[in-house]
Amino acid sequence: MIMQEASFTNLFKTIMWIIAFYYIFKFLARIFLPVLVKKAVEKAGENFQRQQQYSQDNSWQQTRNNNNDEIIINTANAKKPRETKKVGDYVDYEEID
């Protein structure tokens, strides 16, 4: 097995490689990152539109299947008003000198 000694030139080369890799990565990120983000946003928008279309189609079919004279209101999902519990009376304290 060959053992290598650490030298100033090898340390300098390593530092130069790290700096070069950093700047190359930074340059490539400026080029490709906006494209990747744009594609991700477009895909999220498409998914949102697909979900909206699906929910609208379902609600349209439900209303179309019902009779025109009949109106159904689903109150199962309606929010109930919160009840406020009174724990006690408010007491105003004054500081005595």
Cβ(63)–Cβ(69) under 8 Å?
A: no
CA angle 30, 34, 37 (to 5 degrees): 140
Distance between CA atoms of residues 9 and 47, nearest Å: 54
User: What pTM did the predictor assign?
Assistant: 0.41
At 30-60, the pLDDT tens digits run 999 999 999 999 999 999 998 888 887 776 6
At 13-28, the pLDDT tens digits run 999 999 999 999 999 9
Domain ranges for the chain, please list them. 7-58
Tell me the longest C-alpha to C-alpha distance in the chain: 92
CB atoms within 10 A of CB 10: 11
